[in-house]
Structure 1
Amino acid sequence: MQSEKVLYVNYEDLPKRIVKGEIFPITIRLLSTTDKYEQIKYNFSNQDGLKSLNSIPYRVENGKYFYDTFYYLANSSWARLPDIEAYIEPNPNNKYESTVLKGKKLNVITLNPKNNFSNIIAEHFGLVEYKTTSFDNLHNIIVFVAEAKRCDIANIEFKNVYKQGIESIIESIEDSKITYFVVVDKKVETFKFSYFNLEQNRFNNIHIPIIVDDDKVTTQTDLKPKDQSKERIKLIIALSVALVLLILIVWRKKYIYSILLIFPVAYITFLSAPSKNLCIEEGSNIYLLPVSNGTIFETTSETIYLQQEGKAKGFVKVKLKSNKIGWVKNENICKY
């Protein structure tokens, strides 16, 4: 049986230029002159300087035409689109010719950013929330959640920081989200970095003010900066209430107020209670954040006793002998 040409493929949308590190779409227009098939498939070959992000296209149908979109990441300063072969799998009743759309060379530009560039190239990038806490005597740790569109968000990286890393990440072609930490010198008052905005075709700056929480708690669900004096204010209010009740008791000799005095006194005792010491097993990992697959910055070489500072789901916050704050899984607490 002689093969028949029934597929016609052309580029519908090609970018005039792309930036090295950019995620970009290529849309092709496909026309089939037959409906006697189950599926149209593609083969790709001879691409250069690109990483393919989807082999199955995002398809939009309009009349007789299919508009199929493929996404690529430009990871080189020279790039060529692949040759795209569209075909219908033959069966005993038909045999159709495949159609090849030849790849094209792309105009790739390489950025020349300043030293504070974060390696982020995105259609949009923005902070959702952030928090700064004390890491040790010399450093603070900034934890932030950011969202981005059309971005290789895992490529984020900063220069001139003490430590950094990804705590959690959701990668997607269109919408990505990341929780990231940066450890910086205590002298830094504002953490500043830039990213390249593809829509605006320019570098945009991001500023995170350093507002250090006294409680030294950092979790992914509680990252927004809080008033450093909040606990102190609560203590002052409780003391004031207790003092007023005490004056009423002495002045009016109304000893019934003694019952009400129990509540502020109990709260003051709770706020002022010393931290509890915990036994941590040998070989326990000390995490930077209370995240199961988070960054480990220390492992205990022996059984040790540490000061408990707080709790999170599945984790206990501890104060190390170096005055650093870390998190230990509940399963690593000694069992008596």
Structure 2
Amino acid sequence: MGLLFFHLHAATSLAKWDKIPDSLFIGEIFPVTIKFFIPGLTAEDQIPITFENGLNLQVRYAGEPLQIVDGYAVKKIFFKVTGMPAKLPDILFSFEEIQQRLTGLPLQVKQLNAPENFCQVLAKRLEIKEFDSVQYDSTSNLVLMRIVGLYANLEDFKLPFAKLQKIKETNESFPVTDILYYAILPSHFSQLRFSYFDPDTREFKLVSIPIIVKDEIVSTQSDINPTEDKSRYTKIGIFAFLGILFLLYGIWKRGYLWIFIAVIMLGYAGYLLIPAKKVCVKKGSKIYILPTKQSTIFKINRKQNSFFKLNEANGYIKIMLPDKKIGWVRKDDICKN
């Protein structure tokens, strides 16, 4: 599971688990404490530590500073429960000629009996910091939000009633995590309501925010998928298939009109296969998630750059960034030359 370095010094060494939770839930982020007793401890010494044989656990954070309390070197490590059954890993550590293994312990893990609107997140606190919503099509709305959680497994965030959803960006400065998330919801939803579980209070907490849809419309041609332009590939497939079909039919019937139509269709499919051209974007330009006036800004172009142009809509240019993410810039932010 990885390698850590504790600042310790010893002639002999002892270690024991301390402060292990009585019961846990799948998805929960929790701390355990390991106590190391080493006579003659100094902060300058180091001891390597490895994790082995853990079960359904993920090391979430091991960067807390070591503390010396009553002769013990106390280290707090945070794990995430990923399934059941679960077991703490064996801890292997060595110093000079001393080697020792602290055997991992089994954990009591339960499955949550969650309500239907549970978002799969367990957190001490969860808040929506930014929220935006626009009409996606005649039956759906697109919502975007930045969610911030404390000791939260936000990477698992999922709304059970969304037609389509994706976490676009994740940032963590433990114990705080934030995600930029979008979802396509049925248009009859006037409020976004979901629940998360607070392990401290052992209860589900409701999050609710009104969905106020702006007049702007983001059609399916906007393609919010962050990696590819689906509508373009669909068109290529349709025109190529019909072109080949008409060509074979024209050859069989010796119908020049069918062959002419087939050539046009195949030519258009070939045209769509031509790589997208690049556009120059000015330094300091804002890159938006959507081509709308009030859209969330997710990046600033720090220097003049050229990006692949994918589409145009509502006075905005759709571009692909080097990391394959999709964004929109205003036409006014395109370089003149």
| TM-score bin, normalised by smaller chain | 0.5 to 0.7
Supply the AA of the counterpart residue of 2:21.
Answer: P
Q: What amino acid sits opposite 1:12 in the alignment?
A: D
Residue deviations 1:239-260 (CA, integer Å, cap 9, x gap) = xxxxxxxxxxxxxxxxxxxxxx
Name the counterpart of 1:128.
129
TM-score, normalization: structure 1? 0.64
Cα distance between partner residues in 2 of 1:324 and 1:296? 20
Check whether the contact 2:135–2:214 (CA below 8 A) recurs between aligned residues.
yes
SS of alignment partner, residue 104 of structure 2: coil
2:40 corresponds to 1:34: yes
* CA distance in 2 between partners of 1:314 and 1:173 (Å): 27
1:288 is the counterpart of 2:224: yes
Q: Is the 8 A contact 2:137 2:217 kept in 1?
A: no
Give how far 1:134 is off: 1.0
TM-superposed deviation, 1:117: 1.1
1:86 equivalent in structure 2: 93
**Local SS of the residue matching 1:154:** helix
The residue correspondences of 1:126-275 to structure 2 (distance < 5 A) are 126-215=127-216
Partner of 1:147: helix, strand, or coil? strand
2:27 aligned residue (7, 21, 32): 21
Larger radius of gyration: 1
CA drift of 1:208 comes to 2.0
Deviation at 1:53, TM superposition (A): 2.5
SS of residue in 2 equivalent to 1:317 = coil
Task: Report how many residues are paired.
Answer: 248
Cα RMSD, aligned residues only: 3.6
Letter in 2 for 1:26: V
> Which of 6, 10, 17 is matched with 1:11 structurally?
17
Q: Secondary structure at the match of 1:171?
A: strand
Q: Distance in 2 between matches of 1:122 and 1:162?
A: 25
Distance 1:56 1:190 in 2: 39
CA drift at 1:16 = 0.8
Give 1:307's aligned residue. Answer: none
Give the aligned partner of residue 286 of structure 2: 313
Contact 1:288 1:326 (8 Å CA) reproduced: no
Question: How far apart are 1:87 and its partner, in Å?
Answer: 1.6
> How far apart, in 1, do the equivalents of 2:83 and 2:55 lie?
8
- Partner SS state of residue 148, structure 2: strand
TM-score by length of 2: 0.64
Give the letter for the 1:17 counterpart: S
Q: How many angstroms apart in 2 are the aligned matches of 1:145 and 1:165?
A: 12
Name the aligned partner's letter for residue 143 of structure 2. I
**Once the 2 structures are TM-superposed, how far is the Cα of residue 177 of structure 1 from its aligned partner?**
0.4
Give the share of equivalent positions with the same residue, in percent: 22
| Larger RCO, structures 1/2 (Cα 8 Å, 6+ apart) | 1
For residue 200 of structure 1, what is the amino acid of its counterpart? T
Alpha-carbon distance between aligned partners in 1 of 2:155 and 2:47, rounded to the nearest angstrom: 33
Do structure 1's residue 61 and structure 2's residue 78 form an aligned pair? no
Deviation of 1:216 after TM superposition, in Å, equals 5.2
Question: What is the distance in 1 between the residues matched to 2:182 and 2:142?
Answer: 7
- Which letter maps to 1:288? I
Query: For residues 42 and 69 of structure 1, what CA distance do their matches in structure 2 show?
Result: 13
Change (3 A) 1:213 1:139: same
Determine if contact 1:286/1:298 at 8 Å carries over to the other structure.
no
Do the aligned partners of residues 325 and 58 (structure 1) sit closer, same or farther apart at CA in structure 2, a change above 3 Å counting?
farther
The one-letter code of the counterpart of 2:108 is: N
